[in-house]
A and B are shown apart, each in its own frame.
Chain A
Amino acid sequence: MASLREIKGRINSTKKTSQITKAMQMVSTSKMSRAEMNAKSFVPYMEKIQEVVGSIAHGTTDAVHPMLIHRPVKKSAYLVITGDRGLVGAYNSNIIRRVNQLLQERHKSKDEYGLITIGRVGRDFYKKQGHNILLEITGLNDHPNFNEVQSITSKTVDMFSDGTYDELYIIYTHYISVIQHDVIVKKVLPLTDIAPAAKPFIYEFEPNVEEILEVLLPQYAESLIFGALLESKASEHASSMMAMKNATDNAMELINTLTISYNRARQAQITQEITEIVAGASALE
């Protein structure tokens, strides 16, 4: 059995670790609730833009725009959203596993696709593996607003327009609840699967359909990316919170076990001391 001092030391260090994980858990909890709120306040915008795009794309037959046209795919792009740091449970590895699986299924060589990575973890991983990275963003704010993200989203959309790639998939973590988030693969460009609006309106276009699509579609594609980003952030913080909660719980359990063996060792020492005293006393008689 380990000595008393050793056990005491382990209890202390575990206690300190648990204090840190506890603090990180609380930080993540507050960040998560804000991220969740951000994702929620984005919903009305997304719903509205979807509705308008749906009723325009399905209401008019003469609507033609490069973003709506499916062109032969020479190169695909994948936008991978990961976090900037570890200590978030399986959040990052789930995404990366899904992406690897996808790439293996669909592509034979690394020349057929490019990656756009958001987050340090994804970037480091794919750089190491020698993948072709088209664009990388790290150090994104925990609560991104649309303005900050716009340079990323518009660059991504521009690369589709100028033919750097012919289709864009986005792989992100869909936030369902604090304990449930799913990795989702969504095709963003070209915008071929736009859901028709529930009750399409016949609109007048000012000045004409083409010019409206010119404004509307990039904005729509950017919104899709932004929405995915918000959900990913919420999932990341939720994952981090859960991971830290588990760590704290484990630490508490460990402390309990250690305390029991500490008490046992102490009792054993006392018993031994008594035995020795009694033995000493009886030797004197």
Chain B
Amino acid sequence: MKTVSVSIVTPDGPVYESDVEMVSTKAASGELGILPGHVPMVAPLAIGAVRLKKDGHTDLVAVSGGFLEVRPDKVTILAQAAENANEIDIDRAIRAKQRAEERLRKQKQSEIDYRRAELALRRALNRINVAQNAR
């Protein structure tokens, strides 16, 4: 099986590095699947899970924003934050979710605060989803 090397890098260090058979993820414009030998491409990523298929199983990584760079032999994901599914602190994610929901419920707030809370909620939900799917 042909493979492509994938690295997921964040400002706090590399998170994932391996050769995989397929990468699928959610780009800002929709779902995206990448096989080895893909044409060079750059795409911004949405908050979501990156699924990495490898030897019959799938690794999950939660990614918050950033972008994806594809070369025929290498895929690089540059994210502001990323966690392997088994490294996610689920309690923290749940707390973050509750906090964000509370903020969203509050009336009378500036649009920026609202957007920020919404993004926080999306990140928290993403982490929870990824962590639960991996089990």
Are B11's CB and A226's CB within 8 A?
yes
Bound Cα distance from A44 to B7, whole angstroms: 10
Task: Determine the chain A residues whose CB is within 8 A of the CB of B66 once the complex forms.
Answer: 215, 219
Q: Which residue among B12, B71, B76 has the maximum number of chain A CB atoms within 10 Å of its CB? A: B12
Q: A42-B13, A44-B14, A52-B69 in contact; A205/B81 too (CB < 8 A)?
A: no
Are A215's CB and B44's CB within 8 A?
yes
Q: Nearest Cβ distance between residue B93 and chain A, in whole angstroms?
A: 14
Q: A45-B78, A48-B76, A211-B28 in contact; A56/B13 too (CB < 8 A)?
A: no
Q: A45-B10, A212-B67, A226-B11 in contact; A147/B42 too (CB < 8 A)?
A: no
Q: Which residue among B28, B41, B69, B76 has the maximum number of chain A CB atoms within 10 Å of its CB? A: B69
Are B12's CB and A203's CB within 8 A?
no
* Contact string against A for B residues 1-33, beta-carbon threshold 8 Å, 1 for contact and 0 otherwise: 000000101111110000000000001110010
Task: Determine the chain A residues whose CB is within 8 A of the CB of B11 once the complex forms.
Answer: 42, 45, 145-146, 223, 226
Q: A201-B71, A202-B40, A206-B42 in contact; A48/B10 too (CB < 8 A)?
A: no
B104 within 8 A of A: no
Task: Give the residues from 65 to 85 in chain B that come closer than 8 angstroms, CB to CB, to chain A.
Answer: 65-67, 69, 71, 76, 78, 80-81
How extensive is the interface on chain B, given as a class?
20 to 34
Are B76's CB and A203's CB within 8 A?
no
Task: Determine the chain B residues whose CB is within 8 A of the CB of A219 once the complex forms.
Answer: 66-67, 78, 80
Are A48's CB and B42's CB within 8 A?
no
Are A44's CB and B42's CB within 8 A?
no
Bound Cα distance from A223 to B78, whole angstroms: 11
Are B78's CB and A49's CB within 8 A?
yes
Task: Determine the chain A residues whose CB is within 8 A of the CB of B90 once the complex forms.
Answer: none
A246 within 8 A of B: no
Task: Determine the chain B residues whose CB is within 8 A of the CB of A72 once the complex forms.
Answer: none
B43 within 8 A of A: yes
Nearest A-chain residue to B71, judged by Cβ? A201
Q: Nearest Cβ distance between residue A273 and chain B, in whole angstroms?
A: 69
A215's contact among B9, B10, B67, B69, by CB below 8 Å, is which? B67
Q: A48-B76, A211-B28, A216-B67 in contact; A203/B10 too (CB < 8 A)?
A: no
B40's contact among A44, A203, A216, by CB below 8 Å, is which? A203
B39 within 8 A of A: yes
Nearest B-chain residue to A45, judged by Cβ? B9
Are A207's CB and B67's CB within 8 A?
no
Task: Determine the chain A residues whose CB is within 8 A of the CB of B40 once the complex forms.
Answer: 201-204
Q: Nearest Cβ distance between residue B6 and chain A, in whole angstroms?
A: 13
Q: Nearest Cβ distance between residue A60 and chain B, in whole angstroms?
A: 10
A42's contact among B12, B28, B67, by CB below 8 Å, is which? B12
* Contact string against B for A residues 118-155, beta-carbon threshold 8 Å, 1 for contact and 0 otherwise: 00000000000000000000000000011100100000
Q: A146-B11, A146-B12, A212-B67 in contact; A206/B41 too (CB < 8 A)?
A: yes
Q: Nearest Cβ distance between residue B97 and chain A, in whole angstroms?
A: 16
Task: Determine the chain B residues whose CB is within 8 A of the CB of A214 once the complex forms.
Answer: 44
Nearest B-chain residue to A47, judged by Cβ? B9
Bound Cα distance from A52 to B27, whole angstroms: 17
Q: Report 15 cross-chain contacts, Cβ distance below 8 Å, ordered by A residue.
A: A42-B11, A42-B13, A44-B7, A45-B14, A52-B69, A52-B78, A145-B11, A147-B81, A201-B40, A203-B69, A204-B40, A204-B42, A206-B41, A207-B28, A215-B66
Residues of B within 8 A of A (CB): 7, 9-14, 27-29, 32, 39-44, 65-67, 69, 71, 76, 78, 80-81
Q: Contacts A145-B12, A215-B65 given; 20 further ones with Cβ under 8 A?
A: A41-B12, A42-B12, A44-B9, A45-B13, A48-B9, A52-B42, A56-B42, A146-B10, A146-B11, A203-B40, A203-B42, A204-B41, A205-B41, A205-B43, A206-B43, A207-B28, A211-B28, A212-B43, A216-B67, A219-B78
Q: Which are the 5 A-B pairs with shortest beta-carbon distances?
A: A41-B13, A146-B11, A206-B43, A215-B44, A204-B41
